[in-house]
Amino acid sequence: MKSPGGLGRLLPAMRYTIAGLSAAWRHEAAFRQEVIVGVPLIAAVPWLVTEKWRMALLIGAILLVWVVELLNSGLEALCDAVSPDAHTLLGRAKDLGSAAVFLSIVIAVLVWVLVI
């Protein structure tokens, strides 16, 4: 089902975005933990660095973790909807998503260590 084009698409898209963030907050402990750690770090950025490009790197690294976590959570929800039973390929998909989250956290830590 396609949504309308143009500006008429913005309001429904924003509703989907809010619903997705809300669902992640309610159902995903890892997302909550990453937000609880990330928000104070983002708030501290102006006191840690003065250059705008460094600020962007630090904030972007945190946002990257959140984006990858949201994608991983979506993948896990899809796998669970496809089959509640254990399946090798579904397990692999979940493991790959988890590995992506881990690597995004490694990237974030490296960026923060190198920039600060």
CATH of domain 29-115: 1.10.287.3610
- 29/115 Cα distance (integer angstroms): 28
pTM: 0.90
Residues of the chain with pLDDT under 50: none
Q: Secondary structure of the chain in the HEC alphabet?
A: CCCCCHHHHHHHHHHHHHHHHHHHHHHCHHHHHHHHHHHHHHHHHHHHCCCHHHHHHHHHHHHHHHHHHHHHHHHHHHHHHHCCCCCHHHHHHHHHHHHHHHHHHHHHHHHHHHHC
- Rg of the chain over Cα atoms, rounded to whole angstroms, equals 17
Task: Kindly report, residue by residue over 69-84, the tens digit of the pLDDT.
Answer: 999 999 999 999 998 8
pLDDT of residue 2: 65
pLDDT of residue 86: 87
91's CB contacts (< 8 A; 6+ apart) are none
Active-site residue among 34, 51, 69, 76? 69
pLDDT of residue 7: 78
65's CB contacts (< 8 A; 6+ apart) are 34, 38, 101, 104, 105, 108
pLDDT of residue 65: 98
pLDDT of residue 61: 98
51 is catalytic: no
